[in-house]
Amino acid sequence: MFKQDNYQFDSGSSGLSVIQAGRLHLRTLILLRWVAAAGQTATVMVVAFGLGFNLPLVPCLGAIIALVVSNLILARRGQGRQRISDHEAVFLLGFDVVQLSALLYLTGGLANPFVTLIIAPAMVSATILSRSATIGLILLAMLSISLLGRYHLPLPWSGLPLALEPTYLLGIWTSLAVAVVFIATYVWSVSEEARRMSDALAATQSSLAREQRISALGGLAAAAAHELGSPLATIAVVAKELSQEVPENSPIAEDVELLLSQSDRCREIITGLAKTPEAVATNPFASLPFLALVRTALSPYNSESVAVAVHIDELVEGEEPHLPYGPELVHGLGNLIQNAIQFAEVSVSLCLYWDLDEVSLIVHDDGPGFTPSVLSAIGEPYISTRTADGENLGLGIFIAQTLLQKTGANLTFTNEKGAKVVITWPRAILEVTQLKGEGH
């Protein structure tokens, strides 16, 4: 598990799960509550002194002072904190609903034209908090407007008190109830899409950063192998000369033989490091043959229970293309291959094709395939299921699609006796990228 900003990412077999931290900025909430307090104070003063209406001024100011005091306490206790938890945010927004309800009770209830403001805390929750928090605030707002429809002081008015028909008050209650439910649901749905996309992109960036660190480590291994090669060769030469000069019955003959064998072993290890796909070169634009790149992406996910066949289509045209070796390609292809192996029953096929115009890889497994609901939303973050038995698809597809599209690839997802994914690159893009790498 590793952290980035205000998220925690837990790496799993099929992607990354995101654990959200508190989303609401304390400074934002304090500012909103100061604006509410200022607006309430100004309204009360205008009604009482500007319009000359008979208003219970002291109780109204008492309700406003309660909001001001609570905000001062919040600002003092929250010093040094940037965000607050959902539970704290719900408590504070719930307090705001109750405080505004008390003010509306003193000023006419549902007949007060400012009664629509009671839905504001629910809107704030729908924008940034969880579904359960928003539902709780919606229910509290509906309870408040229901009580205000029955219990309230007269609306401040000149002359005789303004009396509204019960049917009209019922209409106001209905409009407020519908508004708070509909608007909050709509805002929450739109905001949730944005939150999901933001979380998924953050997870993708973290996954790519991890792959880049692995790639950099491979380059470091290659550099280390190159630098250690010369002194190790000198040690091997000296050890061999000693083995020829030291008599067989000498007490140090065994030590010399051990030194010689261990130097050979070191040479084998360094040669292996230099040949690993991750250590092709320190140049980040290094390229690999298409087949070698696919095998590199496959290597971490080989399974004993699923046979993975890698083959080249018979209809290929021209020479085998070289693809730019980079974490986007390797990790993106690896996620798709891993997903195919995870859901396959017996086998997975990786078919490579190229001609003068395009380069393609077909990843085909013999599993149950994509369900219609998943296929219609493929590539969206946090798709919950792929199969009827509820196996989790996670972020793997989203991350793979994001990374591969960054390299210029186009992805197509279909069902054909199992799940089939076709990744296609215009060959011109790959050749331009390779030329840039060589120029670098």
Of 362, 370, 373, give the one whose Cα is nearest residue 417: 370
- Per DSSP bridges, beta strands 287-289 and 307-312 are unpaired
Kindly give the interhelix angle for 166-245 and 396-406, rounded to the nearest 10 degrees.
70
Q: How far apart are CA 236 and CA 33, in angstroms?
A: 76
Please report, in tens digits, the pLDDT of each residue of the chain (440 residues total): 333 344 343 433 333 333 344 567 888 888 989 999 999 999 999 988 888 888 899 999 999 999 999 999 988 877 766 778 888 888 999 999 999 999 999 998 888 888 889 888 888 888 888 888 889 999 999 999 999 988 888 888 776 666 777 788 788 888 888 888 888 888 877 777 776 666 666 666 666 666 566 555 555 556 666 667 778 778 878 878 777 787 877 778 788 788 878 877 777 766 655 554 444 444 444 678 888 888 888 888 877 788 899 999 888 888 888 887 777 788 888 888 888 888 888 889 999 999 888 999 999 998 888 888 777 777 666 554 444 344 444 567 777 887 788 788 888 888 888 889 999 988 887 765 555 555 54
Q: How far apart are CA 271 and CA 88, in angstroms?
A: 58
Q: Which residue has the tokens 């091997």?
A: 236
Task: Give residues with Cβ within 8 angstroms of 366, minimum separation 6.
Answer: 344, 345, 346, 347, 348, 417, 418
Our CA dihedral for 215, 216, 220, 223, rounded to 10 degrees, sits at: 80
Helices (H), 301-426: 327-343, 372-376, 396-406
State which H helix or E strand residue 244 sits in.
helix 166-245
